[in-house]
Amino acid sequence: MIKLDGRVVNLGHFPDGTLLIKENVSRDYEAERSVTINWKYENDGELVALIYLTRHLKEHGVKTVHLNMPYIPNARQDRVKSDEDVFTLKYFAEVINSLNFDSVTVLDPHSVVSEALIDRVIIKTPAKNIEKVLAKIGEENILMFYPDEGAMKRYSSMADKPYVFGMKKRDWATGQINGLDVAGATELIDGSRVLIVDDICSRGGTFYHSAKKLKELGAKEVYLYVSHCENTILEGEVLSSGLIEKVYTTDSLLTREDERIEVIENE
């Protein structure tokens, strides 16, 4: 979904499938006016619409255009390991940079590579979102859990709470996660209420194994916050297992509703 200053931009199509966009850049758009395009990613076709809309605005005299893009598409393809790997994140960033936005605001990027590739990027941390979740579930006897050491380094300073972190057991041939170990203040897990925090969830295998291990170690309740949640979470064990009381996320990616998932307003 693309919005211009809070208003949804209608993306129509010609019979051949190409985009039909109408945006009246009239006197309402004074040359010095600052406009903001909000892009909530749903599909790659929206990138083409973003290009056309931004070019249209600039060619009609709008000088200052900001992009608010909470989720960075292609963020997972942040490196290449062989000649056959297409470095989609790099090329995506080059397209965004070519539009010369005055700023590009993103939420909780998947890696520092994204931050380095995008020009004039503004990084929003999920600290306020985590604070909201803690207020909803109650902070009594709360222990934070970060699924790996990277997440621990990124998020542990955002919540002044004791924490533990995971060390994944992965089959490197398939990429499958077979389980994990827990390190840190593990003596605090028994009887605690645990909030798992991370940036992105697809089917949720990491969080399923995390919750399973935490329960085995005596956790009373387990909750999950992720900044970006794909619709595929509904297909994974993270919800069907019943190990997690509630999943909290923003509306940056999720478009489907489920009573086990609560969407919080992004801060």
* Structure confidence at residue 61 (pLDDT): 86
Asked if 158 and 102 sit in the same domain, the reply is no
Q: Name the residue among 179, 253, 250 with its Cα closest to residue 216.
A: 179
**Residues 243, 205 share a domain:** yes
- Please give the single-letter amino acid code of residue 65: V
The Cα 128–Cα 18 span in angstroms is: 40
Provide the number of structural domains found in the chain: 2
What is residue 184's predicted lDDT score, i.e. its pLDDT?
Answer: 87
Residue 37: its pLDDT value, please?
Answer: 97
- In angstroms, what is the C-alpha Rg of the chain? 21
76 shares its domain with 185: no
Average pLDDT per block of 10 residues along the chain, 267 residues long: 94 94 74 86 95 94 94 90 92 97 96 93 96 95 94 93 85 63 90 96 92 95 97 93 96 93 86
Q: What is the pTM of this model?
A: 0.90
pLDDT value at residue 179: 67
pLDDT of residue 24: 83
Last residue of a domain, one of 82, 109, 124: 124
Specify the CATH number for the domain of residue 12.
Answer: 3.40.50.2020
Final residue belonging to a domain, choices 88, 105, 124 = 124
Q: Are strands 176-184 and 261-263 parallel, antiparallel or unpaired?
A: unpaired
Same domain membership, residue 242 and residue 117: no
Torsion of CA 89, 90, 92, 98, to 10 degrees: 160
Strand partners, 65: 35
Give the end of a domain, one of 124, 154, 187.
124
pLDDT at 72: 96
Give residue 103's domain range: 2-124
Q: What per-residue confidence (pLDDT) applies to 266?
A: 75
Is the same domain home to 114 and 143? no
Judgement on whether residues 22 and 62 belong to the same structural domain of the protein? yes
> Within this chain, do residues 114 and 148 fall inside the same structural domain, yes or no?
no
- Alpha-carbon distance of 65 to 60, in angstroms, equals 12
DSSP state of 53: H
Same domain for 67 and 116:
yes
Q: Is 120 buried (19+), middle (13-18) or exposed (0-12) by CB count in 10 A?
A: middle
Q: For position 30, what pLDDT does the model report?
A: 62
